């Protein structure tokens, strides 16, 4: 997965973590009542709930139930009577997030540049997957790319390597048998 868009959260469900637009989830949760409400009101309410979780609470991972309750509270605050679609009951699962620093991996690759970096990256992902996390978050992508290319400024070569790293992580994660319900976040 690439870095989350600004209007997205990672929604925790019983089947795993799913990144999705807050507005899309709001419309799904409201269900048939959505056709009776002003679309702009739904969009703004979803944006407000998104802001609450991301900015005020500093969270990117939210259960569907939590989001549903917060959205219902906001809409009722506007005087709306909204019956939210009842999300399936979820057994609370602790969110195990493992972080890895791509810049550190690039520095550790030394003079081997990309030839040494990609095998180390695959090994790092496999190492973290043994712990059965819900989310593996790789940070420092931009700095990593500039380190590997030796670039001072971002250019076409940097963008191609950036895309290649993300695609490589996707492929490695897809090949791993232990992926069940794990989300990949690359920042």
**Residues 128 and 139 sit within 8 Å (Cβ to Cβ):** no
How do residues 34-65 score in pLDDT, each as one tens digit? Answer: 666 777 887 888 888 888 888 877 787 888 88
Looking at residue 32, its pLDDT comes to: 62
Question: Per-residue pLDDT for 89 more than 90?
Answer: no
pLDDT in tens, 93-127: 456 788 999 999 999 988 888 899 999 999 999 88
From residue 166, give the alpha-carbon distance in Å to each of 39, 53, 88, 183. 35, 26, 33, 13
62 — phi, psi (to 5°)?
-140, 140
Q: What is the pLDDT of residue 101?
A: 94
Please give the Cα distance from 165 to 171 (Å, whole number).
Answer: 10
Average confidence (pLDDT) over 141-145: 94
Nearest one of 141, 125, 139, 100 to 177, comparing CA atoms:
125
Inform me whether the pLDDT recorded for 182 exceeds 50.
yes
The full set of domain ranges for the chain reads: 8-77, 97-186
Low-confidence winner among 8-12, 20-24, 179-183 (lowest mean pLDDT): 179-183
Distance between CA atoms of residues 62 and 56, nearest Å: 13
Could you tell me the pLDDT band of residue 1, with boundaries at 50, 70 and 90? very low
Q: Which residues are within 8 A (CB) of 6 and not within 5 positions of it... i.e. 6 or more apart?
A: none
Residues 6+ apart with CB under 8 A from 181: 15, 16, 17, 134
Secondary-structure breakdown of the chain: helix, strand, coil percentages, each rounded to the nearest 5: 55, 15, 30
Q: Is the pTM of this model over 0.85?
A: no
């Amino acid at each position: 997965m690439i870095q989350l868009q600004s209007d997205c959260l990672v929604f925790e469900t019983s089947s795993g973590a799913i990144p999705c637009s807050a507005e899309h989830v709001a419309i799904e949760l409201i269900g048939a009542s959505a056709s009776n409400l002003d679309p702009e009101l739904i969009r703004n309410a979803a944006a407000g709930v998104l802001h609450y979780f991301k900015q005020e609470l500093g969270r990117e991972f939210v259960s569907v139930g939590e989001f549903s309750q917060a959205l219902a509270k906001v809409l009722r605050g506007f005087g709306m009577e909204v019956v939210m679609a009842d999300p399936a009951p979820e057994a609370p699962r602790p969110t195990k997030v493992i972080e890895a620093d791509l810049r550190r991996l690039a520095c550790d690759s030394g003079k081997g540049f990309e030839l040494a970096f990609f095998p180390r990256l695959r090994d790092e992902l496999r190492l973290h997957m043994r712990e059965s996390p819900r989310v593996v978050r790789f940070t420092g992508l931009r700095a990593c790319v500039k380190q590997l290319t030796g670039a001072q400024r971002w250019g076409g070569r940097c963008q191609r390597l950036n895309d290649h790293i993300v695609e490589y992580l996707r492929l490695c994660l897809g090949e791993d048998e232990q992926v069940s319900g794990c989300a990949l976040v690359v920042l």
